[in-house]
Amino acid sequence: MTCAHGLLQNHEAAFAIDASRIVFGPRTLDEVGEHAKSLGAKRVALFTDRAVGKLEHVSRARKSLQNANIDVALYDAVHVEPTDASFIDAALFAKEGRFDAYVSIGGGSTIDTCKAASLYATFPADFLDYVNAPVGAGKPVPGALPPHIACPTTCGTGSETTGIAVCDVLALKAKTGIASARLRPSLALVDPTCTYTLPPEVVAASGFDVLCHALESFTARAFSSRAYGLPRPLSQGANPWSDIGSREALRIGGENFVDAVQGSERARDQLAWAATLAGVAFGNAGVHIPHAMAYAVAGLVRDFRMKGYPQEEAMVPHGVSVVVNAPSAFRFTAGTNPERHRIAAEILGDRDGDLSRALETLMRKASVPVGLREVGYTRDDVPALVKGTIVQKRLLSNAPRDVGEAELVELFEGAL
Ligand SMILES: [Fe+2]
């Protein structure tokens, strides 16, 4: 695990467990009012997007909040795959409403938007101040934020248990985010029944996001390879705590993936639990190359649209933008820790321990695009994809191997 020798070499020998509060189980969304009350809420901003806003989840939550005598104001203009502009719009709503607590209901876009809205309403600043360097100034969040109850309705993202909010900075054509332990929701309320009505394509895309969170946390650079220094970063690298969540998320997620896509409610319950475990793991260890590449893949999209998602705008769903890179990324990292790659592959059902092949098999079974060509990219796009990825320093530095421009060219060519 770790040893005192690390101290002698000025290497990190400790890891932190910043666990989230989680309530998991069917119909728990109906408890949101009681949880909000116990957090001291009297006036709540309820964040969602237009599509989720039409579903019964939001009316259920609203009723529960009203039954607890809490005032509710609805913001249903969350942009799926948020931008700096959509974050700012949400923050204006949050500032004007003078709320003492927040509830978010939806996918990662909604939960992330709620985190950002609460941040800029509570500690106003220029937008780029809190955004990760080098795109932004990477300033620390100055203090605690009001309570936030995050209620995921997809079995993916893990945003409900992390301190990360991701967005596109439109003028810079860069996908980046804000990372601070203070953005972590006060409570994750995970009601797997919310996933029962999701289209199969959405379950497939978000399910691959879950598997990649687990795989990237498990194969990230070891926490003990960092130099010692306080405060410890949010993304500590693979550590004994995140390994527990990663392994179990892979096992449960892998076993239930195909059934969950095909609509089994029992399998969707299990996938939601795997997503929660993977979220806890990656909130603690951090992800690396596939997610770093995904920012560019999603940000530079031309005309790809996926069934099951809004069709108005071209968009590569987050989980797909991640998993199309994953086989190439794990071929690249396999030599750094063959044992971990083999264990992960075997958990996912590849008897020869080939992680990239295990993923490609599952991608075909779930009918998601296998490789970058299938989401509309060609070799000519590689320089732009590399440029959009090289700025993801926080993620790339969590990889088990050094990644520069030459390596990224190889990685993207391998993903075509
Ligand atoms: Fe993700």
Q: Lowest-confidence range among 17-21, 75-79, 241-245?
A: 17-21
pTM of the model: 0.92
What end-to-end distance do the CA atoms of the chain give, in Å? Answer: 37
| Residue range 59-74: mean pLDDT, rounded | 98
Q: Which pLDDT score, from 0 to 100, does residue 328 have?
A: 98
Binning pLDDT at 50, 70 and 90, where does residue 108 land? very high
| Residue range 347-374: mean pLDDT, rounded | 96
Distance of CA 153 from the midpoint of ligand 1 (Å):
15
Phi-psi region of 157 (alpha: psi -120 to 50; beta: other; left: phi over 0): left
Assigned CATH class of 200-415: mainly alpha
Q: Which pLDDT score, from 0 to 100, does residue 2 have?
A: 47
Closest CA to 190 of 216, 154, 137, 229: 154
Distance of CA 329 from the midpoint of ligand 1 (Å):
15
Comparing 175 with 208, the larger pLDDT belongs to 208
H or E segment and range at residue 36: helix 32-38
- Cα(165)–Cα(162) distance, integer angstroms: 8
Distance of CA 199 from the midpoint of ligand 1 (Å):
19
Q: Lowest-confidence range among 17-26, 35-44, 53-62, 319-328?
A: 17-26
| Residue range 225-229: mean pLDDT, rounded | 92
Q: Which pLDDT score, from 0 to 100, does residue 80 have?
A: 86
Q: What is the pLDDT of residues 268-307, one digit of tens each?
A: 999 999 999 999 999 899 999 999 999 999 989 999 999 9
Distance of CA 124 from the midpoint of ligand 1 (Å):
27
| Residue range 53-64: mean pLDDT, rounded | 96
Beta bridge partners of 164: 179
Q: Which pLDDT score, from 0 to 100, does residue 6 have?
A: 46
**Structure-token match 């993923």, residue found:** 359
Residue type, 262: Q
Q: Which pLDDT score, from 0 to 100, does residue 150 have?
A: 98
Query: Which tokens in the block code for residue 279?
Result: 């979220």
Cβ contact 136:129 at 8 Å: yes
Q: What is the pLDDT of residues 378-406, one digit of tens each?
A: 999 999 999 999 988 889 999 999 999 99
Binning pLDDT at 50, 70 and 90, where does residue 9 land? low
Cβ contact 398:287 at 8 Å: yes
Report the percent of the chain where pLDDT is more than 90: 86
- Cα(132)–Cα(124) distance, integer angstroms: 16
Distance of CA 116 from the midpoint of ligand 1 (Å):
17
Q: Lowest-confidence range among 311-315, 352-356, 401-405?
A: 311-315
List, in order, residues 6 or more apart from 202 with CB less than 8 Å away.
154, 308, 309, 317
Distance of CA 216 from the midpoint of ligand 1 (Å):
10
- Cα(179)–Cα(166) distance, integer angstroms: 9
Beta strand extents in 180-261 (DSSP E only): 187-190
List, in order, residues 6 or more apart from 89 with CB less than 8 Å away.
77
Which CATH architecture best describes the domain 22-195? 3-Layer(aba) Sandwich (3.40)
CA angle (29 as vertex; 27, 33 as ends), nearest 5: 125
Closest CA to 155 of 120, 108, 112: 108
Ranges of each domain in the chain: 22-195, 200-415
| Residue range 206-233: mean pLDDT, rounded | 95
Cβ contact 160:111 at 8 Å: yes
Query: Which tokens in the block code for residue 77?
Result: 């203009």
Distance of CA 3 from the midpoint of ligand 1 (Å):
32
| Residue range 97-119: mean pLDDT, rounded | 97
Report the percent of the chain where pLDDT is more than 70: 98
